[in-house]
Structure 1
Amino acid sequence: MNLELPVISLFSGAGGLDCAVERCAEPPLTHDGSGSPLRVAVATDCDETALQTLALNSPHTKTLCGDIQTTPTQEILEAGGLKRGDATLLIGGPPCTPFSKSGFWIEEKRNSADPNASLLDEYVRVVRESKPEAFILENVQGLTYKTHKAQFDRLIEGLRDAGYNPSYKILLAAEHGVPQLRRRVFVVGRRDGKEFRFPQPTHSGESERDRIVDHSKIPFVGLRQAFQGLPKEQIDLSDIVEGTYADLAAEVPPGQNYLWHTDRYDGRDVFKWRSRYWTFLLRAEPDRPSTTLQAQPGPWVGPFHWENIQNEKGESRARRFTVSEMKRIMTFPDEFKFAGGRREVQRQIGNAVPVELGKVVVRSLMEQMGYVQPMLDGTEQACNEQLSLI
């Protein structure tokens, strides 16, 4: 039997979670051995460029471009050829700006008064009215902070009132084989009332807050390892760090940031200690995962590549990651295509869910619901996959 289980995708963006859904059973381990049983029937977003990206990679998915606050659930269902209760899964990550640490300098965000926070209510509304078998919601970990307690409690209560039993957990992408220290909260619930059990980490290593390493697990995937096999490519001039702090950025060693140029380190004594954000002039380390890729970084916001490059004048300069490298950091397939210019592509990538992290969650849910066969213990499976690459 060739299963085709329909999925509704909200706040789809470029389709990181959508891609995870349709690849969740790789290697193919469905009951009929055909691969992932899930197909995204309809995807919605207000970002037309992101939906163009999604269409390039998933031409079978019907897309709706518009404001979710004015898009009736029935319109979404009809676009996907669905009725209430038909969808196996509803996925989506409401825009994270209201809950992101990078927005805490704005008072309304810090006080959880951002009007976009109400998009969580729209997610609940579509879950309640479309009645899927299960849902997965993804967002930044800041959603769980005390400053956003009212919004988060309302989200959980709304999902319970809709007839589900939401469970949530903050996952570190690097602990699931993604070469990025990116923390995200996942909220998962099933219509049948059974509790979702989150997957256990398969990888371990040092992060920005943890120094204890579990040596029974696979080491974190570093960037050098993640970039293996990428063809040498011409670096675009726009990816070279020029301007006011160009010399200083080029002098920062891998793993360091602007603090290198304070009186406590060996660089120039230019900045005051802890006077900037951590990502200011941040250089990546080749044998560690990247820090979080941002959607709209400023000109001096890293992480920048650990190697310097010469500009047209022969001067040593730091450089930004290429699109191919960013896709590897976010575990998008190499063949994945993005619409739009360089800035728009960075925004889409930075806003996306790392594909492999999404796959881990989706696959675990599909196993527990009986739609795909259970695979090996997570660490053993990850070991086998790494060995297959050697």
Structure 2
Amino acid sequence: MARSSISLFTGVGGIDCGLAAAGFETAVSVEIDPTCAASLVANRVGHVISSDVTGVTAGELLSIAGAREGEIDLLSAGPPCQPFSKSANWRYGTPLGLEDPRSRSIDHMLRLIEGVLPRVVLIENVPGFAGEGARAGLKSVTTRVAKINKRRGVAYRVSSAILDTADFGVPQHRRRLIMVLDREGREFNMPAPTHAGSGSGLPPYVTAWDAIGELDKPRVPQELRVRGRWADLLPSIPEGENYIWHTERGRGVPLFGYRTRYWSFLLKLAKARPAWTLAANPSQNSGPFHWRNRLLSVAEMARLQSFPDWWRFEGTRVHQVRQIGNAVPPLLAEIIGRAISHQLLGAKPSMRRPKLSLRAGTAPPPPERVQPVHRQYLTLKGSHLAHPGHGRGPGALRRARELEAELLKGASQD
């Protein structure tokens, strides 16, 4: 018999897909994005409430699930990560965290946890959620869970860790903060890594070639062609490298200053390694790009996130890329779900391979041949200054000037 679960901020259902493989059944999911909600309906991820959590009550969730307070086995949630992300919403060099209006979703997540009182809670977010200071999310959640315990006579205990999905057989390096709350106050031990690099004694990482090699086609479809100013530079960068190849720290032609561009600029996959983290909203020049110097297809991105081939993604390519890039890899969710069932819900440990796992160890072909730098870029060749360091680059200096102007304006008004 499947264990019951409720899902908040469900997205395209990465957690739910993995939990289903671990023996959980999502009774109800809540997702504000209409395209994601359409994908959830297509994949039958419970009764889908296409709404913001602010308008949802615990009574509504329990009624739809056919359960009473305290009867739901698991509540999962992936509140918006942008306030804690390194790649978005930076102001004056610091992520806004709890000062970002979007972090109010955490208030409603905790409100619903208190109303549902599930046996276990699974929360995921970016590593920045565990940061230091008043803006950090993990510290706030822990403090407020203690207040829930006092009000409701429960004993939720927060166990947390930052995990790299590649360590668990996902063919992609993707670091996520995982929080597990047990209502009875037991500590949850995060699953141990199952994969690692050579010489570790563990099975090798599942590589990009293991995941998508069979999907590789010599002919590049029109919609997967790279466009824009830097498209013709991509063939001159080896597999697994980015623009840094063409700086004084690389072995190419010095076209850029070291660390003067964002990390994913002209970043390429390597066949023999896991993929780099897939982005939800990549720019024209943001990778990871395929080793054949093209965009990744939706099917390839889904494989690299460990979605089964039958999982559906509704909407345009832009919608589909966003859904996949924002998702939690289902294989990681399956492994965590199995551990939760065993440690906290009384299930016997399973010795079977995870249902969503991929086989590793397929020998990839040699790396693609690197092309010479196209002549149109050779005018950039020369000596370039490296980035001066955190907080001292042109962007940070501009933000500092803006802040100073705001302070001066405020002082003059006083």
Name the TM-score class by shorter chain.
0.7 to 0.9
Shift of 1:259: 1.5
Q: Hey, what does 1:311 align to over in structure 2?
A: none
1:20-39 equivalent positions in 2, closer than 5 A? 20-24=18-22, 36=23, 38-39=24-25
Matched, 1:305 2:290: yes
Higher gyration radius (CA): 2
Alignment check: 8 A CA contact 2:206 2:273 kept: yes
Deviations along 1:188-242, one digit per CA (max 9) or x if unpaired, are 011122221111111112xxxxxxx652111111101122444749644232111
Residue among 8, 27, 39 paired with 1:10: 8
Q: Hey, what does 2:60 align to over in structure 1?
A: 75
Alignment check: 8 A CA contact 1:282 1:302 kept: yes
SS at match of 2:48: strand
Q: Hey, what does 1:138 align to over in structure 2?
A: 124
1:162-241 equivalent positions in 2, closer than 5 A? 162=148, 163=154, 164-205=156-197, 215-230=200-215, 232=217, 235-241=220-226
Paired AA for residue 181 in structure 2: G
Paired AA for residue 12 in structure 1: T
Matched, 1:274 2:248: no
In structure 2, runs of 5+ residues without a counterpart are: 149-153, 364-414
Deviations along 1:247-271, one digit per CA (max 9) or x if unpaired, are 1122211111112222443434322
Alignment check: 8 A CA contact 1:103 1:109 kept: no
- Shift in CA distance, 100/150, structure 1 to aligned 2, threshold 3 Å: closer
| Structure 1 segments of 4+ aligned residues over 6 angstroms from their partners | 387-390
- Shift in CA distance, 353/150, structure 1 to aligned 2, threshold 3 Å: closer
Q: Which moved more, 1:267-276 or 1:295-304?
A: 267-276
Using structure 2 for the length normalisation, give the TM-score.
0.80
Paired AA for residue 101 in structure 2: P
1:101-120 equivalent positions in 2, closer than 5 A? 101-103=86-88, 105-107=90-92, 110-112=95-97, 113-120=99-106
- Shift in CA distance, 171/264, structure 1 to aligned 2, threshold 3 Å: closer
Paired AA for residue 193 in structure 1: G
Cα distance between partner residues in 2 of 1:191 and 1:242: 52
TM-align CA RMSD: 2.5
Residue identity (%) = 35
Cα distance between partner residues in 1 of 2:337 and 2:261: 38
Shift of 1:150: 4.3
Shift of 1:20: 0.8
Cα distance between partner residues in 2 of 1:389 and 1:56: 33
Using structure 1 for the length normalisation, give the TM-score.
0.85
Shift of 1:305: 0.7
Alignment check: 8 A CA contact 1:136 1:188 kept: yes
Q: State the aligned residue count.
A: 355
Paired AA for residue 33 in structure 2: D
SS at match of 1:247: helix
In structure 1, runs of 5+ residues without a counterpart are: 25-35, 206-212, 308-317
Residue among 61, 65, 70 paired with 1:85: 70
1:39-78 equivalent positions in 2, closer than 5 A? 39-58=25-44, 61-78=46-63
Cα distance between partner residues in 2 of 1:388 and 1:268: 34
Cα distance between partner residues in 2 of 1:168 and 1:290: 25
